[in-house]
A and B are shown apart, each in its own frame.
Chain A
Amino acid sequence: MKKLPMLAFLTVLTLSVPAAWGDSAPTAPILIGADKISAGDTAWMLTSTALVLMMSIPGLALFYGGMVRKKNVLATLMQTFAIVCVVTILWWLIGYSWAFTPGSKFLGGFSRALFGGMTFMHDPVNQLSVSHLALTIPETVYAMFQLTFAVITPALIAGAFADRMKFSAMLVFMAAWSLLVYVPIAHMVWEPSGWLSRAGVLDYAGGTVVHINAGMAGLASCIVLGKRLGYGRERMPPHNLTLTLIGASLLWVGWFGFNAGSAGAADGRAGMAMLVTQMATAAAALSWMFAEWFAKGKPSVLGIASGAVAGLVAITPASGYVGPTPAVAIGLAAGVICFFAATSLKHVLGYDDSLDAFGVHGIGGMVGALLTGVFFSKEISGVDNSIMTQFLIQLQGVAVTVIYGFAVSYLILKIIDMTIGLRVTEEQEREGLDITLHGESIE
């Protein structure tokens, strides 16, 4: 009975929080009563979180692992797996706080460092914290969901520098990149105090934050590292496209968590995001396949898988803002344009983007981010701008990410190269990274 007054006090506190929102929604993570949580939303976001983690491991790991030569398979799988672990720890340390709590226009605050203040309190208190960006799910789920995005983005970069970066240098690069590039861009675009968010840039699930960002870092890394030994003279065909196709398929399935999960809820917008994701992906897979069939004579497995990923990338920023028909258009455009980027542009410009991280994610992200400004639907998005206005805002978002992503990545890579060294020795590269860096091989 002694507990009663305390309980009553806490109940009042609990009830007073939602009432205090009034007309103005909260602008920082807050404590609310557990009864304010939506079971449906939470269930979907728990599911989405698992789906997006599956995109990285094993999805992306297999997608890339199948494309490299046999001597570098384990090293490639290892990169993705290790990045997942490192970025998870950084997210807890400060990443989540800097990205998703209010702060300056460029970076969030320290309030959630070490996930401090992120809590769930059992009966009788029965309260938990929620993010101001997703009020109907526990903050733990929101932070985990965003963690899976923070994890896959640096892992995407690895496609550009496959076969030739030191593992130690890669760990340092990824840790630095995560905190100096991913986190600030995520804050700028997704946290309401970020300046690109305020400017009205539409990026539903990460066209700028995830894909352009990773693509530009990929371009920077293959420029700083240089080409693989024997590039253009020796055979470097993928060693097992079965793995690649399985990886692409896992990415496709997982992407429903990525895009429809970005609704933060199990609602109509999530449903529309799922639908348009499927449309754009199929359209892009076909457009890459037919483009290749026409230009190179055969419709290839690697081609249709690459096209699907290009479509997934391009619909990502648009997925909460467009209907199914524009989604098909975005997919068709992404398939052809990324095909051109990965098969021609790369050879014309002469950089060795080994697995086309820039060609697919960088270019596909730009196509998607810009076309979001053309095809956004007023009904779905609630955005009332003219196409020209929104397109220019999108262009601003793309330009900032391209410049910031490339410049800071380039700087980090140069510093690592000058200090601990970025590239493996010639002997190591010849013999393969599996045996020389990890002491293992698949034979």
Chain B
Amino acid sequence: MKLITAIIKPFKLDEVRGAVSDVGVRGLTVTEVRGFGRQRGHTEIYRGAEYVVEFVPKTKIEIAVDDGLVDLVIEAIMRSAKTGKVGDGKIFVFDLEQVVRIRTGERDSSAI
């Protein structure tokens, strides 16, 4: 099992949700985050006082999947989150040791 974490542009969330659902993902977690990468921040000016906003608002999604689904999900995210401009985000994949469904106590693949 893997945990796929992706940082995407906030307005791409709905498209990404649709795309991963289509390849069989049945649940994901969303967090509003801020950060920086190659896309630098922007400058705001208030009555002549300039502030550089270094951390750009992004959306983080986390999806737990079986090994067999990993590549499909990565492709689905890439396809749906891509604009081709700097700042489209990144995908991180981690090994996942255990999954437990709290209500039933089911474990691992059957709990995903």
Interface residues of A (CB under 8 A from B): 235-238, 296-298, 300, 302-303, 306, 342-344, 346-347, 356
Taking a contact as CB atoms under 8 Å apart, the answer to whether B45 and A342 are in contact is: no
Judging by beta carbons under 8 Å apart, are A237 and B47 in contact?
no
| CB <8 Å contact, B48 and A300 | no
B48 and A347: CB pair below 8 A? Answer: yes
Question: Is B47 a contact of A356 with CB atoms below 8 Å?
Answer: yes
Inter-subunit contact B44/A306 (CB<8 Å): no
Residue tally, chain B, CB below 8 Å to A: 7
Output the least CB separation between B42 and chain A (Å): 11
Task: Report chain A residues within 8 Å CB of B44.
Answer: 237
Min CB gap B70→A, angstroms:
39
6 residue pairs A–B, Cβ–Cβ below 8 Å: A235-B51, A237-B44, A296-B48, A297-B45, A306-B47, A343-B48
Q: Does B46 contact A (CB under 8 A)?
A: yes
- When distances are taken between beta carbons in the complex, the residues of chain A under 8 Å from B51 are 235-237
Q: Which residue of B lies closest to A232 (CB)?
A: B49
Contact between A238 and B45, CB atoms less than 8 A apart: no
Q: Give the nearest-CB partner of A356 in chain B.
A: B47
Task: Tell me, in angstroms, the Cα distance from A342 to B48 when the chains sit together.
Answer: 7
Whole-angstrom distance from the CB of A299 to the nearest CB of chain B?
Answer: 11
In B21-79, the 8 Å CB interface with A consists of: 44-49, 51
- B contact patch SS: strand
Say whether A236 contacts B47, CB under 8 Å.
no
Say yes or no: A296 contacts B49, CB within 8 Å: no
Query: Roughly how many angstroms separate A211 CA and B18 CA in the complex, as a whole number?
Result: 58
Q: How far is the CB of B57 from chain A (nearest CB, A)?
A: 15
Residues of B within 8 A of A235 (CB): 51
B interface residues, Cβ below 8 angstroms from A: 44-49, 51
Residues in chain A near residue B45, CB distance under 8 A: 296-298, 300
Distance in Å from the Cβ of A99 to the closest Cβ of chain B?
Answer: 33
Q: Measured between C-beta atoms, what is the minimum distance from B43 to chain A in Å?
A: 9
Could you tell me the distance in whole angstroms from the C-beta of A246 to the nearest C-beta in chain B?
Answer: 17
Could you tell me the distance between the alpha carbons of A300 and B44 in the complex, rounded to whole angstroms? 10
Q: B46 and A344: CB pair below 8 A?
A: no
Q: How far is the CB of B111 from chain A (nearest CB, A)?
A: 36
Residues of A within 8 A of B48 (CB): 296, 342-344, 346-347
B47, A303: Cβ atoms closer than 8 Å: yes
Contacts of A298 in B (CB 8 A): 45
CA distance A342 to B44 in the complex (A): 16
- CA–CA, A89 and B43, complex, Å: 46
| The one of A297, A302, A346 that contacts B46, using a Cβ cutoff of 8 Å | A302
A344 to B50, CA, bound (A): 12
Contacts of A347 in B (CB 8 A): 48-49
Q: How far is the CB of A243 from chain B (nearest CB, A)?
A: 14
Question: In the complex, A302 Cα to B48 Cα: how many Å?
Answer: 11
Min C-beta distance of B53 to chain A, whole Å: 8
Q: Within the assembled complex, what's the spacing in Å between the Cα atoms of A343 and B47?
A: 5
Closest-CB distance, A158 to chain B (whole angstroms): 17
In this complex, the member of A237, A297, A298 whose beta carbon has the largest number of chain B beta carbons within 10 angstroms is A237
A8 CB, nearest partner CB in chain B, Å: 67
Instruction: Say yes or no: A302 contacts B49, CB within 8 Å.
Output: no
Which residues on the B side are within 8 Å of A346 (C-beta)?
Answer: 48
Residues of B with C-beta under 8 A to A236? 49, 51
Report the Cα distance A237→B47, complex, angstroms: 10
| A213–B49 alpha-carbon span in the complex (Å) | 26
| A258-B44 Cα distance, complex, nearest whole Å | 34
Distance in Å: Cβ of B54 to nearest Cβ of chain A: 10
Residue of A nearest to B48 (CB): A343
The CA of A131 and the CA of B73, in the complex, are separated in Å by: 81
- 11 more A-B contacts (CB under 8 A) besides A237-B51, A300-B46, A343-B48? A235-B51, A236-B49, A237-B46, A237-B49, A296-B45, A298-B45, A302-B46, A303-B47, A342-B48, A344-B48, A347-B48
Given the complex of chains A and B, what is the CA–CA distance between A371 and B108 in angstroms? 80
* Distance between Cα atoms of A344 and B47 in the complex (Å): 9
With a cutoff of 8 Å between Cβ atoms, the chain B residues found around residue A238 in the complex are 46
Give Cα distance in the complex from A297 to B45, angstroms: 10
